[in-house]
Amino acid sequence: MSCKCCGAHEQAPIEHIEKKNNLLKGYWRILLSALLLFGGIAMNAMDIAFFREKYVALAWYVLAYLPVGLPVLKEAWESITQKDIFSEFTLMSIATLGAFYIGEYPEGVAVMLFYSLGELFQDKAVDKAKRNIGALLDVRPETATVIRGGEAIVGDPRKVEVGETIEVKAGERVPLDGVMLGGVAAFNTSALTGESVPRNIRKGEEVLAGMIATDKVVRVEVTRPFEKSALSRILELVQNAAERKAPAELFIRKFARVYTPIVTGLAVLIVLLPFCYSLVDVQFVFTFNDWLYRALVFLVISCPCALVVSIPLGYFGGIGAASRMGVLFKGGNYLDAVTQINTVVFDKTGTLTKGTFEVQSCHTQPGISEERLIQLAASAERNSTHPIAKAIVNYAGQRNIELIPTEEVTEIAGHGLETIIDGTRVLAGNTRLLSKYQIEYPEELLFIPDTIVVCAVGTEYVGYLLLSDTLKEDAFKAIEELKALNITNIQILSGDKQAIVTNFAKKLGITQAYGDLLPDGKVKHIEELRRDAENQIAFVGDGINDAPVLALSNVGIAMGGLGSDAAIETADIVIQTDQPSKVATAIRAGRQTRRIIWQNISLAFGIKLLVLILGAGGLATLWEAVFADVGVALIAIVNAIRIQKLIK
């Protein structure tokens, strides 16, 4: 029954049963206490003879108090033994026992009854929010169909080993990460990405746990164990997010530690100062019980439950709602940080563009055939994960060109590859690579506005491949939505030629685009932006090649990072899709969460301050004090849960 901030959802059946039993016990205690309280009030109103006796009434209300009071008194004692003297349990215990001391039995019982009822509702609301978020994310199947010895065996997915083949029927959810073994199949990816449109996955492409096969039976070769699947890492990320507190959350916790003792001291002064004044001014009549009652009202109001519960729940709700939209925040602190962003810097390839290059043409020097040039370039690039390298290797496959063995492959960041083929050095990359090795090439290559991969054998330039990339469908929407959020400083950084980057930037309406940047060049650019303290920078990249820049920016956002360990490790926010428009979704989620949080803070402080003043002046009773504490807490919790519906 404690006001603790919500942690991560756990799917433990035993824990769920224990919570359910505790709630049932709580309801029975509250029901019994309420029957005795209102029965006593009714007998007093009807002037029942035996109830006129003071000790009879006291005994009756003590019986009404015990079912709801004992658990709180126990919590108060445990808090005191742990040196947390000024907890809400201690305050409620003092306030209600004080009410009994001055003879206000019904009010003493009512304060504890409604406080316990409020706590029960709070626990239920927090538990429901955590279960909803957990159910939203934890969509891992409990069984997997494994193909062993030609037979389909249904078993625990935790026992399936990497390299084994699993079968997924139409309508079933994929239990483990792997690669497609068949042709083409459609998958519902909404559990992971928030997108309802099915996605076609081809042979050799990645299939992730949580996806649903929609049109046929598929077979998948497992590439990761159960606990390391993309979905498991998402769950772990969201669970750990509760540990990364936002500044507002940390402030409220620190403030509560100072605020509660101060208010307790003020409650003592409410009694002490009038008494001292009565010693100076003999005409002033000091009635101890009247001033003690005002102090008790003051104590009840001072409980910071509304803030201590609703603010963590608000951040947790924001993280859960954003997850449903395909945006993973690694902590409440990043929900806050993203609201300050006024500068968004995009990587180009794979972020704003599809990153699925296609070879358009092949240009060779005299003495070398197109097939030989393609063979050399594809052989050199065969083990690279770069989109351009994959495009060249795929092109060689389409033309049925056989690749040849390579030796001593060296990747030179921002330049390309150096390798040995048939005992001769082969270079494949950009013009900077040839310049680095002082190999001459035609000057007109510098003025080609599209992406090219040049190739050299030994010390001779032998030709180039021309490739093209295209903007993602929602790249225009991404820029428009950012501008609608009053973010006008939007930039593009790329290792591609300046002419290519400028061309894409013009199409998107971006005025600041920088090409020809090596990885350290991107770092220097971000460092230059950070020299101006007013720039709050979000860098959006793929989370692998841009890891240093993601770490350097105020907020690092990784695109399409579900299958990427580097993305999840480096970025502060992981966008589960390849949609750059989700950057605006992340910013809106942060702003909406922050708005709700500050609504709760303003509501709680405003009402509490008003009733505190009324209580000190003797104009508020314990009934108003109960509303100022329990009522405001419940309103704040309902407002926090509302985040789930607001974030879109």
- Cα distance between residue 192 and residue 357, in whole Å: 26
Give the pLDDT score at 229.
78
3-state DSSP call for residue 451? strand
Calculate helix-pair angle for 288-302, 88-101, nearest 10 degrees: 160
Name the residue among 3, 115, 126, 21 with its Cα closest to residue 67: 115
Q: Identify the weakest region by mean pLDDT among 62-76, 505-519, 626-640.
A: 626-640
What the block records as the tokens of 190 is 């909404």
- Cα distance between residue 182 and residue 634, in whole Å: 53
Q: Average per-residue pLDDT in the chain?
A: 82
Opening angle at CA 15, ends 10 and 17, nearest 5:
125
Instruction: Find the mean pLDDT for residues 88-106.
Output: 82
CB atoms < 10 A from the CB of 259, how many?
Answer: 16
Name the residue among 156, 165, 216 with its Cα closest to residue 186: 216
Instruction: Find the mean pLDDT for residues 161-173.
Output: 90
Opening angle at CA 280, ends 276 and 282, nearest 5:
110
At 357, phi and psi to the nearest 5?
-75, 155
Q: Is the pLDDT assigned to residue 3 strictly greater than 60?
A: no
Q: Are the beta carbons of 563 and 205 closer than 8 angstroms?
A: no
- Cα distance between residue 617 and residue 599, in whole Å: 27
Q: Is the pLDDT assigned to residue 356 strictly greater than 80?
A: no
- For residue 357, what is the enclosing H or E element? none
Beta strand 327-329 pairing with 573-575: antiparallel
Identify the band that residue 138 occupies on the pLDDT scale cut at 50, 70 and 90: low
Based on DSSP, count helices (H) and strands (E) in the chain, helices before strands.
Answer: 22, 22
Task: Establish how many alpha carbons lie within 13 A of residue 102's alpha carbon, considering only the half-sphere containing its beta carbon.
Answer: 20
Identify the band that residue 39 occupies on the pLDDT scale cut at 50, 70 and 90: very high
Which segment, 22-26, 162-166, 322-326, is predicted with the most confidence on average?
A: 162-166
Q: Are the beta carbons of 373 and 462 closer than 8 angstroms?
A: yes
Higher pLDDT, 538 or 263: 538
Type of residue numbered 545: N
- Cα distance between residue 516 and residue 23, in whole Å: 63
* Residues contacting residue 57 through CB under 8 Å, at least 6 positions apart: 40, 44, 51, 105
Predicted TM-score (pTM) of the model is 0.66
- Cα distance between residue 345 and residue 351, in whole Å: 11
Percent of the chain with pLDDT strictly greater than 90 = 27
Beta strand 489-493 pairing with 512-514: parallel
Q: Is the pLDDT assigned to residue 14 strictly greater than 50?
A: no
At 86, phi and psi to the nearest 5?
-95, 50
- Cα distance between residue 501 and residue 449, in whole Å: 9
pLDDT tens digit sequence for 191-213: 665 555 677 888 888 888 888 88
Q: Are the beta carbons of 580 and 475 closer than 8 angstroms?
A: yes
Higher pLDDT, 305 or 317: 317
Type of residue numbered 577: T
Name the residue among 591, 546, 646 with its Cα closest to residue 338: 591
Q: Are the beta carbons of 618 and 512 closer than 8 angstroms?
A: no
Give the pLDDT score at 248.
61
Instruction: Find the mean pLDDT for residues 295-308.
Output: 74
Instruction: Find the mean pLDDT for residues 540-544.
Output: 71
Name the residue among 244, 245, 328 with its Cα closest to residue 585: 328
Give the pLDDT score at 297.
81
pLDDT tens digit sequence for 100-131: 888 888 888 887 888 787 777 766 666 665 56
Q: Which domains does the chain have, with CATH numbers?
A: 13-136+240-279+287-319+591-646 (no CATH), 144-228 (2.70.150.10), 327-354+472-576 (3.40.50.1000), 358-468 (3.40.1110.10)
Identify the band that residue 508 occupies on the pLDDT scale cut at 50, 70 and 90: very high
- Cα distance between residue 486 and residue 488, in whole Å: 6
Give the pLDDT score at 23.
54
Higher pLDDT, 551 or 489: 489
Concatenated DSSP letters of 517-581:
--HHHHHHHHHHHHTSTT--EEEEE-SSTTHHHHHHSSEEEEES-TT-HHHHHH-SEEESSS-TT
Please identify every residue annotated as catalytic: 347
Q: Please name the residue that has the structure tokens 């695109």.
A: 559
Q: Identify the weakest region by mean pLDDT among 210-219, 335-344, 581-590.
A: 210-219
Q: How many residues does the chain have?
A: 648
What the block records as the tokens of 401 is 């060109």
Identify the band that residue 456 occupies on the pLDDT scale cut at 50, 70 and 90: very high
pLDDT tens digit sequence for 47-86: 888 888 888 989 999 999 999 999 889 988 988 888 777 7
* CA-atom Rg of the chain in angstroms: 33
Name the residue among 298, 302, 304, 296 with its Cα closest to residue 97: 296
Higher pLDDT, 561 or 27: 27
Q: Please name the residue that has the structure tokens 């030709």.
A: 463
